[in-house]
Structure 1
Amino acid sequence: MVPLTAQANDAQDNESELAVPQPVPIHEPQWFDQWHMNFEDAMNNTARSIDNFFALSGDSSHEDATASGRVRLGWEPRSRDFAEMDLRFRIRVRLPALKNRVDLLLTDDEDDLQENSVKATRNDQLGRRDQATLALRFRHSPDAKLSHRIGAGRRDQVFVKSRYRDSHDFNAEMGIFYDAEIYYYSRDQLGGELGLSYQHLLSEHSLARLNNRYYYRDNTNDWRWRHEAQYLSQVSDTSAYIYTLFVEGLSRPNMHTEQVFLSARWRTNPTREWLYYEVEPFVLWLKEEDFKPSFGVALRLEVFYGKI
């Protein structure tokens, strides 16, 4: 588990937040270790084949192409929906033949800034539920703040998207993260998002975070907003607790709340650096359910592969 002092610097990296594999005690190889190595080799071989398509004659840089990502399987039963299952995946293929300026992304959700949400909280209208997305991401350099995507997703729509993401540290304990993006979908038309997060490192092993996000949709001419508070506490080298409270709503026909969510998530990887377990009891209030509390628990297994 990554120390929270390091997480504070990477908190808005969607592939590192409370998830970067770290060294853990060495164990004798088991069958699932062999499976993980074989799976990682297969993904890297696929990455090299894809990169070779773009390579010039005599260019061997495609041999360095790699794939990375994660697969997460969860069962999230709650009152009034006991059978809720959630399968999340994300694959990123680095393409050295294109000077690492282009990545191939395959994911179940293009909204990668909210990928840790319980499935029942992900809004259908924004395409956050079971929507495979395939895209090419273009960046001037691997650490560029501005990136562009073109691909297909959100109910089989073609889209283009530009995103700017940056951060600013006030001091060693306080910082902000902000991003803005604009996109166009073939049916949903023009849309945009704004995000601002404030993060305060309370100690070497705990931090507080306030997240605010706004989504504009041209086809409905309204704003969806989300305000979230989190407290993260690392209790050991392999375990952490994440407490979350968020409220989400719409601006039309008037400013109103659509849902309220409260949870306590325990995340641990005690046996393997690439294998995580999560238990997240939660309470969810939905407008469509007359804000009657729905109690549930999310049980998840998450596997990482490749160099994150």
Structure 2
Amino acid sequence: MLCVAVTLCHLVMPANTHLNSSAQVVSPPSNEINASEEAWFDVWQRSFTDSMDFTVRQFDGLFSREQGSHNGEHAKAEGRIQLSWEPRSRELSETDLRFRIRVSLPHLENRVDLLLSDNEDESQSDTIKAARSNSLGRRDNTTIALRFRPDQNSHYSYRIGAGRRDQLYLKSRFRDAAAFNAHWAMLYDAELYYYTRDRLGAEVGVAIQHVATDNQVTRFNNRYYYRDISNDWLWRHELQHLYPINNHHALVYRLMVEGYDKPKYHVDEVYTGLRWRFNPFRDWLYFDVEPFVLWRRDEDFKGSYGVALRVEAYYGKTK
């Protein structure tokens, strides 16, 4: 499949999904770059990856008295860095810096990962800053956690960490997928967590996905968040459609509606946007242009028009 389409499917599909569909099985092509053709961003990407790998190998070595790798496998870091400018009516200076780092630890049998992110809500990893709900304290909150899995292919995972306004938390998650046929599938997950100040919380998510023969992907996401501190539910419904153009260009359309169930079931926010995503230079370097319209209750549902301009770099594992 197209390399851009694979990366976009990574954004619209949660990690660790055990679904064997045409939207996932093909890896993106690698660009062979001679040393003489390397630009400064190639040197930066390679140097940053090497530095991260060296750091995590030192950390992984703390869990073993033996020197070197574990069964020939070294600790590695992988992740992404994204810088955005998201001007819109009434807010022209909106900028955003997003990052996500995942560290695998072979000396712990790859059952424990170290996760560092700007935002704990993976379902909003590709959402503009103004459209991310602030009710759960998810905006601009660095999260660090250790994630444990009973085995590498387990549907269950457990986390202990700190985030959401510097709170300690414990979290358990179940995630799985069911393929009905070659084109239709359902993805579902559930989470239960406890924060030291926000107390108990829960999330439930269900998504229906269709992969067409021409690699177009349509998904309908539904997600519900329970908040013990306010005893209510935040809900979100979202429609996404991925249209691959060629090896280096793709379009993604999104329509999202979000709201609460108290004091009565009501809409708090509506968002729609069309993202043009392309990587003309390197497989690991992406650019986004996303015109959008946002309606928010705290702005009396007056349309706010804008465009998100992003540059995103991956390192570590090839995307």
Task: Mark yes or no: TM-score above 0.5.
Answer: yes
Q: For 1:32-73, what per-residue CA distance to the aligned partner results, in whole angstroms no more than 9, with x for missing partners?
A: 111111110000001101101111345642970000000000
Please tell me whether residue 219 in structure 1 is matched to residue 220 in structure 2.
Answer: no
Q: Give the aligned residue type for 2:44.
A: W
2:23 equivalent to 1:23: no
**How far does the alpha carbon of each residue in 1:186-241 deviate from its partner, in whole angstroms, 9 at most, with x for none?**
00000000000001112323121100000000000000000011111000011110
Partner of 1:235: 245
Q: For the structure 1 residues 173 and 60, does the alpha-carbon distance in structure 2 shift closer, same or farther, using more than 3 Å as the test? A: closer
CA offset at residue 300 of structure 1?
Answer: 0.2
Would you identify which runs of 4 or more consecutive aligned residues in structure 1 move more than 6 Å? 5-10, 15-18
Going from structure 1 to structure 2, the CA distance change for 1:15 and 1:288 (only over 3 Å counts) comes to: farther
Q: Which moved more, 1:181-190 or 1:20-29?
A: 20-29
2:115 aligns with 105
| Cross-structure match for 1:12 | 13
Distance 2:65 2:150 in 1: 20
Aligned to 2:301: 291
Counterparts of 2:201 and 2:108 in 1: how far apart (Å)? 29
Amino acid in structure 1 at the alignment position of 2:30: P
| Inter-partner Cα distance in structure 1 for 2:283 and 2:152 | 25
In the alignment, the residues of structure 1 paired with residue 52 and residue 147 of structure 2 have an alpha-carbon distance, to the nearest angstrom, of 19
Match of 2:20 in 1: none
Give yes or no for contact 2:259–2:265 (8 Å, CA) kept in 1. yes
3-state SS in 1 of match to 2:30:
coil
Equivalent AA in structure 2 for residue 103 of structure 1: D
SS of the aligned residue for 2:60 comes to: helix
User: What letter is aligned with 2:144?
Assistant: L
1:72 is aligned, of 61, 82, 93, to: 82
- Confirm whether residue 201 of structure 1 aligns to residue 211 of structure 2: yes
Q: Shift of residue 159 of structure 1? A: 0.2
Aligned length: 307
Cα distance, 1:176–1:157 mapped onto 2, change above 3 Å: same
Segments of structure 1 that go 5 or more residues without pairing to the other structure are none
Over 3 Å counting, the alpha-carbon distance change for 1:63 and 1:2 in structure 2 is closer
SS, match of residue 37 in structure 1: helix
CA RMSD in angstroms comes to 2.3
Task: Select which of 31, 40, 60 maps to 1:51.
Answer: 60
Verify the 8 A CA contact 1:8 1:201 in the aligned structure 2: no
Partner in structure 2 of residue 42 of structure 1: 51
Alignment check: 8 A CA contact 2:4 2:278 kept: no
Q: Which amino acid in the other structure matches residue 170 of structure 2?
A: V
Moved more, 120-129 or 95-104: 120-129
The answer to whether 1:167 aligns with 2:177 is yes
> 1:24 touches 1:270 (CA, 8 Å); kept in 2?
no
Q: How far apart are the structure 2 equivalents of 1:249 and 1:274? A: 35
Question: What CA deviation, in whole Å up to 9, does each residue of 1:233-288 have, x standing for no partner?
Answer: 00001111000001000011110000000000011111101100000000000000
Relative distance call for 1:8 and 1:301 in structure 2 (3 A) is closer
Is the CA contact (8 Å cut-off) linking 1:91 and 1:106 kept in structure 2? yes
Q: C-alpha distance in 1, partners of 2:11/2:230?
A: 34
Range with greater deviation from structure 2 (196-205 or 236-245): 196-205
Secondary structure of the corresponding residue to residue 146 of structure 2: strand
Structure 1 residue 84 displacement after superposition: 0.4
Amino acid at match of 2:205: G
Q: What letter matches 2:300 in structure 1?
A: D
1:55 match: secondary structure: coil
Q: How far, CA to CA, are the matches of 1:128 and 1:98 in structure 2?
A: 30
Q: Deviations over 1:154-192 (max 9, x none)?
A: 000000000100000000000010000000000000000
Amino acid at match of 1:2: C
Name the counterpart of 2:3: 2
Tell whether the 8 Å contact from 1:4 to 1:204 is kept in structure 2 after alignment.
no
* Residue 9 of structure 1: how far off its partner (Å): 9.4
- TM-score (norm: length of structure 1): 0.94
Amino acid at match of 2:129: K
Q: Counterparts of 1:9 and 1:301 in 2: how far apart (Å)?
A: 17
CA distance in 2, matches of 1:3, 1:174: 21
State the SS of the aligned residue for 2:49.
Answer: helix
Could you tell me how far apart the structure 2 residues matched to 1:165 and 1:273 are? 29
Taking structure 2 as the reference length, what is the TM-score of the superposition? 0.91
2:266 maps to what in 1? 256
